[in-house]
Structure 1
Amino acid sequence: MATVRDILKALDVITGGRVITDSFGYGGANPFVVTKTSGIPGKAVTELPGLVWGDPDMPVKKVAVMMTLTESAIELAGATGIDCLIAHHPIAEGSNTGGVTARDYFNLYHLAVFELHEAFHGLHPGIAWIHGSCAKHVNIRFGGVPGKIVWYGNALPEVETLGDLLNRIDTIMGTDIESRVLTSERQIRGCTEIHETSIAARAKIFVGTPDNKLGKTITVFPHTGFSAEDLEKAYAEYPEANTVVCTISRPLPGDPLVKKAEELGLNLIAGNSHALEILENGIPLAWALRLQIPELDIHIFRERMVSLPLDHCGCTHIENYGETMARNYLPKPKTE
């Protein structure tokens, strides 16, 4: 039977030696041990690619691959016999463990937990491929900033226009299935004002028309801090580009990044949102692990975030419960 140690070795092979396998990885020798901070006191997190928690000798039968660890994921693991969780995004005490210590929650369900994030970035050209490009070059530290990723590439022969790209993304990501699921939920709950991320943040054209040529592309990730100034620099490096593809996240209409694309004469298209990275990066990782350790039972933990109006957030009983608790126990402003 495979062990936690076997999974660690497999991830090290998959990432080309980027994970921490010994104590030297904590001392600055591993460039993928990166601290992320916005300067908010006490909220910085350090990425530790590799084993975050667990006994290296523990046997593992069932693994779940996910993007972000949450209490819902931990509970699902405990209820379905998962031994090991592999999260893409970094794990922090409390934030990713329902407000309690990771030690107590992970030990409760006998879980081993890994994280990868920056250590997995740039290893395959899949995100560019989904977005219609054959990647020629990737920079995972654009401007010297870890995680600020930029892809340069050429449009695939079968993706000639921006309209072709929208159709391609919808087909590959199974947008029709997600749309039908959302329609069913709206019907079951009797509420048309339910929204779900993969549909609400669907691929769309910001600058250009469906008939415009996709051409040579610069693929960027705005949530990494990629700015209008960065686009100007990227375009200077790749002046033959026709289109900016924003993926994982997208600017809002009127954002300086959108205006800069217009100024430079570039199309700008918003591709997949972060909600779909579990398919873009999670599934390739899961398959790579299966190819190394075929006996593992591997599952994908896919998040589905929906918004519901307060008056339609559950059944009548729970809605009444919420109002009763608020009226009877939670203080109201004093009136003069």
Structure 2
Amino acid sequence: MTAGKTRTEVTDVLGALNRISKGRMVMDWNEVTSGKNPYVVMKTSNIPGKSVIEIPGLVFGDKHKPVSRIGVGMTLTESVIELASAMKLDLIIVHHPVADAASSGGVPFADYLPLYNLALIEMHEAFHGLHPGMTLLHGHNKLKTDIAFCGIPGNVLHKGIALPEVRTAGDILARIDRFMGRDIDLDILEAERAIRGEATLQEATLANPAKLLSGGADSPVKHVLHFFPHTGFSVEHMEIALRMYPETDTIIASISRVRENHPFVALAKERGLTFIVGNPHSVEIMENGLPLAYALELLLPEVEVFLLRERITAVPLKHIAHRQMVEYGRQMAETHLVSMPPKAVRTY
């Protein structure tokens, strides 16, 4: 809070985030169009109308709005907005870029967020590379980080060396399970399955566990390359990285996943390297969201900070156990969505 002010405002939160991000935040809207802020970037798959510009700063709301309760989340969804409303939050800060309608239940921010008096800030690329937590959780100290490998914004590559207590690939897998509290989440899932009567229910943080795709649990680990496939990291990039760091013995791909037959894995096997897929994207709220939330608490002790963690589950339709809603869903589908023609009446 600025000296002499009696309340915390959105602008104070922006100032705290600018300190946390080492000056990467958009503090003046002119930065969005001037090209002077390298963390304002376009993300596109070249699908007409589906691109988005990342703006690490205040996306919606008044910068002088009072703030006493902040929610820190990973991705803005209507569920996050509704939770923020129920908790009477003043401001949502999300890691990933937001987009009108796509991030707000199909409607514009201007029609939705004012209902709950919510302001909205995003960060994403402006937060990448600021702390070593992602690599420490995966068992190595990062020695070098490139957040735009081969000139691609967000294409992050870490070069690391194994922690003293991490000697094998099995040590990395055990470390990830322990830090992420998988045993707790497994207990929660088993309890929910029993309560709902849905034995096949799956949950996002558990469905994609860390796995060893090349090498063995006893494969020695020392020199690590750690990247994130969804950022545009390619096989060519992996080959370049291995030429840069020929001492590499272990490769970790995390946040996003690759499967056993991916060319990354084939290349690792060809080179005799250990290949591990680490934490999935569904737990980045803990990897990146939690450090950000605690940093805000340290800088803005007068503000209450909440971690907004979504939990996504899946179950086959045939196993949904709540009969009343099953009948509702079927009735709506059969009567209104799939007009069933009347049965033919046989005439003689």
Shorter-chain TM-score: what band?
Answer: over 0.9
Q: Distance in 1 between matches of 2:48 and 2:339?
A: 31
Correspondence for 2:216: 209
- Asked if 1:3 is matched to 2:18, the reply is no
Given that residues 311 and 319 in structure 1 are in contact (C-alpha distance below 8 angstroms), is that contact kept between their aligned partners in structure 2? no
Structure 1 stretch displaced more, 225-234 or 68-77: 225-234
- Asked if 1:145 is matched to 2:133, the reply is no
Aligned match of 1:92 in 99, 103, 108? 99
Given that residues 198 and 321 in structure 2 are in contact (C-alpha distance below 8 angstroms), is that contact kept between their aligned partners in structure 1? no
Aligned match of 2:49 in 42, 58, 62? 42
Aligned match of 2:314 in 287, 302, 307? 307
Q: Distance in 1 between matches of 2:124 and 2:327?
A: 42
* Amino acid corresponding to residue 233 of structure 1 in structure 2: I
Given that residues 95 and 123 in structure 2 are in contact (C-alpha distance below 8 angstroms), is that contact kept between their aligned partners in structure 1? yes
Cα shift at 1:46: 0.2
Aligned match of 1:280 in 272, 276, 287? 287
Given that residues 334 and 340 in structure 2 are in contact (C-alpha distance below 8 angstroms), is that contact kept between their aligned partners in structure 1? no
- 1:213-292 to structure 2, matched below 5 A, reads 213-292=220-299
- 1:41-190 to structure 2, matched below 5 A, reads 41-190=48-197
- Asked if 1:30 is matched to 2:47, the reply is no
Q: Distance in 1 between matches of 2:38 and 2:340?
A: 52
* Amino acid corresponding to residue 15 of structure 1 in structure 2: S
Aligned match of 2:26 in 20, 25, 29? 20
SS of the aligned residue for 1:152 comes to strand
SS of the aligned residue for 2:291 comes to helix
* Amino acid corresponding to residue 102 of structure 1 in structure 2: F
Cα shift at 1:333: 7.9
Given that residues 65 and 87 in structure 1 are in contact (C-alpha distance below 8 angstroms), is that contact kept between their aligned partners in structure 2? yes
Residues 19/260 of structure 1: CA separation in 2 closer, same or farther (3 Å cut): same
Given that residues 10 and 66 in structure 2 are in contact (C-alpha distance below 8 angstroms), is that contact kept between their aligned partners in structure 1? yes
Given that residues 189 and 312 in structure 1 are in contact (C-alpha distance below 8 angstroms), is that contact kept between their aligned partners in structure 2? no
Cα shift at 1:23: 3.1
Identity %: 47
- What 5-or-longer segments of structure 1 have no aligned partner? none
* Amino acid corresponding to residue 6 of structure 1 in structure 2: D
Q: Distance in 1 between matches of 2:158 and 2:223?
A: 11
SS of the aligned residue for 1:2 comes to coil
Bigger Rg over Cα: 2
Given that residues 19 and 50 in structure 1 are in contact (C-alpha distance below 8 angstroms), is that contact kept between their aligned partners in structure 2? yes
Cα shift at 1:224: 1.1
Q: Distance in 1 between matches of 2:334 and 2:13?
A: 51
Aligned match of 1:298 in 281, 305, 322? 305
Given that residues 42 and 52 in structure 2 are in contact (C-alpha distance below 8 angstroms), is that contact kept between their aligned partners in structure 1? yes
Cα shift at 1:24: 3.2
Structure 1 vs Structure 2 CA RMSD: 1.4
SS of the aligned residue for 1:48 comes to coil
SS of the aligned residue for 1:229 comes to helix
Given that residues 4 and 56 in structure 1 are in contact (C-alpha distance below 8 angstroms), is that contact kept between their aligned partners in structure 2? yes
- Per-residue Cα deviation, 1:94-123 (whole angstroms, up to 9, x for no partner): 100000001111111000100000000001
Q: Distance in 2 between matches of 1:333 and 1:217?
A: 59
Taking structure 1 as the reference length, the TM-score comes to 0.98
Q: Distance in 2 between matches of 1:227 and 1:251?
A: 12
- What 5-or-longer segments of structure 2 have no aligned partner? 1-6, 344-348
Q: Distance in 2 between matches of 1:296 and 1:183?
A: 36
SS of the aligned residue for 1:287 comes to helix
- Runs (4 or more) in structure 1 with deviation over 4 Å come to 332-335
SS of the aligned residue for 2:141 comes to strand
Cα shift at 1:214: 1.6
- Per-residue Cα deviation, 1:192-236 (whole angstroms, up to 9, x for no partner): 211112111011101011101121100010111212211111101
Q: Distance in 2 between matches of 1:275 and 1:260?
A: 26
